[in-house]
Amino acid sequence: MSELPPTPVTNDLSFDHNGIHTIFRITNFQGRKLIVLSNLGKIGHIIEVFFPKMIGILGQRSSLRCDYECKLILGTDCSDFDLMIKRMAMVYHEYNFEDNIILYLGLHDFDIDFCKKVIDIFTQHLESLRPNQRCIKPNPYHQNMTRQVGDLTFQNN
């Protein structure tokens, strides 16, 4: 008799933003995480976020930039979610998670404050799973870019 896979665990991180209830649930399946984020009560987009496996350099993973790819499975192409997905992928990478993410999104009244709140809650959740294991090591490219931006001076013509 074959073994059944473990029952998936769902974490409910739902919250209210500007008086609107937002469902935020993360379910852990084998090999992927399912994230439902909706303040409409329905889903309009399904996006899969892939993290390429880097064989041979796993020990250096935390110091490398976060490489990921997105595949739109359902819905129309909507660049409004790109910033939030990028931040979620970066935080996920910083905690050394490697499973792919499937995002079920149904959002209305989406703004930068909402995005910040989602990222803060997501970060707290990842921190609870792997306390004090966040690896933030900017690579030399980002350090150099920060220096160059700091050296810029702007002149009004």
- Provide the CA 123 distance to its chain's centre, in angstroms: 9
**β-bridge partners, 12:** 25
The answer to whether the CB of 102 falls within 8 A of the CB of 32 is yes
**Between residues 110 and 35, the one the model is more confident about:** 35
Per-residue pLDDT, 54: 63
Per-residue pLDDT, 155: 45
pLDDT reading at 154 higher than 80? no
Least confident of 29-33, 59-63, 135-139: 59-63
Per-residue pLDDT, 64: 58
Interatomic CA distance for residues 129 and 131, integer angstroms: 6
pLDDT reading at 147 higher than 60? no
Interatomic CA distance for residues 137 and 63, integer angstroms: 5
Question: Where do the domains of the chain lie, and which CATH numbers do they carry?
Answer: 9-151 (3.30.230.90)
pLDDT reading at 124 higher than 70? yes
Amino acid at 149: V
**Between residues 148 and 18, the one the model is more confident about:** 18
What tokens appear for 15 in the block?
Answer: 């919250």
List pLDDT tens digits, range 54-111: 654 555 544 556 788 999 999 988 788 898 999 999 999 888 888 999 999 999 878 8
